[in-house]
Amino acid sequence: MKDQSRTNQELLEEISALKQKMQALEQSESGRAQAKEALTKSEEKFRKAFYTSPDSVNINRLEDGLYVSINPGFTMIMGYTEKDVVGKTSIECNIWDNIEDRQRLIAGLEKDGRVTNLDAAFRAKDGDIRYGLMSASIIDLEGVPHILNITRDITDRKKVQEALRESESKYRLLADNVNDVIFVLDMDMHYSYVSPSIKILRGYEPKDVWNQSAFETLTPSSLEAAMKTLAEVMELEKTNHNELSRTLQLEMVRKDGTTVWTEVKLSFIRDENQQLVGILGVTRDISERKKAEEQLQHTLNTLREAVSTTIRVMISAMETRDPYTAGHQIRSADLSRAIATEMGFSPDRVEGIRMAASIHDIGKLSVPAEILSKPTKLSDLEFSLIKEHSRSGYEILRNVESPWPLAEISYQHHERMDGSGYPRNLKEEEIIMEARILAVADVVEAMTSHRPYRRGLGIDLALDEIEQNRGILYDRTAATACLRLFREKGFQFKEA
């Protein structure tokens, strides 16, 4: 479909051409009949265009703007009927919202005889302001110059444009005054916008950054991380649109050569066809957070070292007093670590489980040595004293500052999933996972090792015990991981 302003202009040109043709025909006697016929056809064609056009069409006297005729499009857009305006001037009807628009129209007509695409504002009958794109030319009616005016209503377009400008103005005002840096990149990773706060973050003026590639702003390690993320996004684009944003911690280079740690949240800009066309980013200075994290990590490392030292002292005390118990703890710790790793625990959590397992029987320090080393079956009283070692271990460990729940792991390692364990008859989710893992490792090691009162029962019997009571006494996931370690991955206890 042709542009409407071009259609209006073509109509004006056709009317002008017909007028010239009529004048040529009228110059000869023989052409008068043809002229009359052509005039009739022209008038009919003009009448159809005049009355069926959705645009506003009106004819005004050039001298004073007196309305001679209007079409239904004029009434539909402006609200005025022929009775309202015909015989009155546009000034009398107060149709022009800005009289300067009419002056520009008249000036253009007087200079060139026609005006195209004049953007003007009008006041409708109900007082609403309407905007139009006007094309006009001077025509001769009975020897009097008139203006033929065809105007397309662009009010909705104007309102959308104005709303967009206001929205852009608000967002730009926001972007220009926030402490975080807001930026836009094209798909070649060049800046198309960056907020003024870049001056604070990196020491550059915004215009200086526009000449940079995003790759120039990052340290080598951060550039590698950013490129990896971008590659992942582009790979996902091959199969489906990836709407998720990405948040990265990146180290940026400042103008003076120093660096600053930032948190960058990236969102992806798409066109109307949902194709990636750019990247919107919000960057925040996290230097202080990084320092705090490093200080915290240093503190945690120091704490871990202090706990490790304390554990080693406790293990030495156990070895001196009860070699059997000390060896049992070390082997249980090795198996606990392997089970936790097999279950996919983080390295830090695995280390906590290993640490707790290596001292889980520390409470036996409160049990008389002659009971621990007794070569015959224990009496009920003696066994009840040994069962107290879980509670005693908790009392010893509860005041040890540690990033791991050492005291609770020691307290719960004899609890069972069905509630039949001791000392508190905990069950299922009441037992922390670390203690469930240790419970499996503790039983397997105890059954396979020699004791003063019996020889070891062997790994097969120990694994049968775990398998038969998997999900009953022992956590199903921990038990399954343990069985897999021995039967499929060749795990073995190290020789003492």
The whole-angstrom separation of Cα 258 and Cα 267 is 27
Q: Does residue 395 lie within any of the structural domains?
A: yes
401 against 155, higher pLDDT: 155
CATH number at residue 278: 3.30.450.20
Kindly report the three-state secondary structure assignment for every residue of 199-263: HHHHCCCHHHHCCCEHHHHECHHHHHHHHHHHHHHHHHHCCCCCCCCEEEEEEEECCCCCEEEEE
29 against 485, higher pLDDT: 485
Among candidate residues 257, 285, 313, the one where a domain is terminated: 285
The whole-angstrom separation of Cα 110 and Cα 108 is 6
Decide: 458 and 475 in contact? Cβ < 8 Å.
no
Over residues 430-468, the pLDDT tens digits come to 999 999 999 999 999 988 886 665 676 888 999 999 999
Q: Does residue 172 lie within any of the structural domains?
A: no
Same domain, 296 and 281: no
- The chain-wide mean pLDDT, for the chain, equals 82
Q: How much of the chain exceeds pLDDT 70, in percent?
A: 81
Over residues 266-294, the pLDDT tens digits come to 888 877 777 778 888 888 888 888 888 88
Among candidate residues 285, 320, 350, the one where a domain is terminated: 285
Decide: 133 and 151 in contact? Cβ < 8 Å.
yes
Phi and psi, residue 21, nearest 5°: -65, -40
Q: How confident is the model at residue 1, as a pLDDT?
A: 42
Coil, strand or helix at 163: helix
Q: Is the bond leading into 423 cis (omega within 30 degrees of zero)? A: yes
Listing DSSP states for 20-74 in one string gives HHHHHHHTSSTHHHHHHHHHHHHHHHHHHHHHH-SSEEEEEETTT-BEEEE-HHH
Same domain, 313 and 367: yes
* CA R_g for the chain: 45
Residue 185: give the domain boundaries.
178-285
Over residues 149-176, the pLDDT tens digits come to 999 998 888 887 777 777 666 666 665 6
Same domain, 217 and 308: no
Q: Does residue 167 lie within any of the structural domains?
A: no
Listing DSSP states for 377-439 in one string gives PPPHHHHHHHHTHHHHHHHHHTTS--SS-HHHHHHHTT--TTS--SSS---GGGS-HHHHHHH
Same domain, 319 and 348: yes
Regarding pTM above 0.75, the answer is no
Q: How confident is the model at residue 2, as a pLDDT?
A: 47
Same domain, 411 and 304: yes
Same domain, 91 and 142: yes
Q: How many domains does the chain have?
A: 3
CATH number at residue 409: 1.10.3210.10
Show Cβ contacts of residue 167 under 8 Å, excluding neighbours closer than 6 positions. Answer: none
Q: Does residue 494 lie within any of the structural domains?
A: no
Q: Does residue 173 lie within any of the structural domains?
A: no
Same domain, 246 and 280: yes
CA distances from 312 to 338, 410, 445, 451 (A): 20, 16, 21, 23
Q: How confident is the model at residue 173, as a pLDDT?
A: 61
Instruction: Region of 86 please: left (phi>0), alpha (psi -120 to 50) or beta.
Output: beta
> Per-residue pLDDT averaged across 102-109, rounded?
89
Over residues 244-254, the pLDDT tens digits come to 678 889 999 98
Same domain, 145 and 49: yes
Show Cβ contacts of residue 356 under 8 Å, excluding neighbours closer than 6 positions. Answer: 336, 404, 405, 406, 409, 410, 434, 438
Same domain, 76 and 213: no
Show Cβ contacts of residue 277 under 8 Å, excluding neighbours closer than 6 positions. Answer: 186, 187, 269, 270, 271
Same domain, 188 and 314: no
Same domain, 272 and 386: no
